[in-house]
Amino acid sequence: MEAVLADAAAKLATARSIVVLSGAGTSKASGIATFREAQTGLWSRFDPAELASEAGFRRNPARVWQWYQNRREQAANAHPNAAHRALVDLDQLSGKSVTIITQNVDGLHQAAGSRRVVEYHGNLHENRCINCERRYEESTTATYTPPKCPTCNEWIRPGVVWFGEAIAPAVLRASAAALSAADMLLSVGTAALVYPAADMINQALRQGTPVLEINPDQTPFTEACHWAIRGEAELVLPRLIEALAKQS
Ligand code: OAD
């Protein structure tokens, strides 16, 4: 691992614009379960289509609302871990700009102090009316059962992206702009199975941007990446920053 770390750090030393595609594994050390783990994962007991789709929400609004209230509570009690902090350290190095495109909806990158964060799948703490799309802050919807929009009397739903839904155009634009200017892409803690998020790795590879993957497990992109480090983000990222410091 040392040789791979040193080689990736040497490239990172010359990179000015760095994009990080982050996924659930980045927040795991903060106590937030990832989605696909068989026993403990967020999807382990329920069908994702029932919990994370508009059709599932319409079938059973109370169940979906309570599941999201529970995830909000989990996120509110969580703190950034060493992986989030290492990415802040990277951004603070002179001459470097780090854009984090995160599939996570827990807000932990911002809580750690990262300045440029694109929330690809939305944010757990926002809500909107299923009909008129009016936004509601979490503080106004802290109810056990899903509230109704006072304007049109339709359900208020979590403001995250569900299966089958489009990514917001502004988010797509911001991600594409960051990616096309990137000197290096770090794919951290994502299974790279959900599209269009995972396609950003393809795009980086197509345009010749070097990709470093950090994940304890194999992903569909492991072989194609320039470097793949098998390990936890909270351990590997701080070591990468240390290796980077040795470069100068
Ligand atoms: P997944 O739960 O699919 O994958 C988590 C990844 O993190 C796996 O590849 C694990 O091997 C890896 N992992 C576990 N622990 C780790 C650690 N400590 N450090 C680094 N990696 C670790 O989560 P995502 O790929 O983020 O979408 O999932 C993408 C999307 O699928 C989510 O945003 C969500 C889900 O359906 C929506 O809700 C729309």
| pLDDT in the model for residue 145 | 81
Q: Which of 20, 27, 28 to mutate to test the pocket of ligand 1 (most atoms within 8 A of CB)?
A: 28
| pLDDT in the model for residue 2 | 85
| pLDDT in the model for residue 13 | 95
Catalytic residue among 79, 84, 109, 121: 121
| pLDDT in the model for residue 206 | 97
Cα separation, 1 vs 72, in Å, equals: 36
Pocket flag, ligand 1, residue 147 (CB < 6 Å): no
**Digits of tens for pLDDT over the chain (248 positions)?**
788 999 999 999 999 999 999 999 999 999 998 887 756 777 777 788 888 999 999 999 998 998 888 888 889 999 999 999 999 999 999 889 999 999 999 999 999 999 999 999 999 989 999 999 999 877 666 677 888 999 999 999 999 999 999 999 999 999 999 999 999 999 999 999 999 999 999 999 999 999 999 999 999 999 999 999 999 999 999 999 999 998 86
Q: What token pair was written down for 120?
A: 């690809």
Pocket flag, ligand 1, residue 28 (CB < 6 Å): yes
* Cβ-Cβ contacts under 8 Å for 116 (sequence gap 6 or more): 91, 97, 98, 99, 100, 178
| pLDDT in the model for residue 152 | 92
Cα separation, 100 vs 98, in Å, equals: 6
| pLDDT in the model for residue 39 | 60
| pLDDT in the model for residue 46 | 77
Q: What is the DSSP letter of 188?
A: E
Three-state SS at 54: helix
Catalytic residue status for 125: no
Structure pTM? 0.95
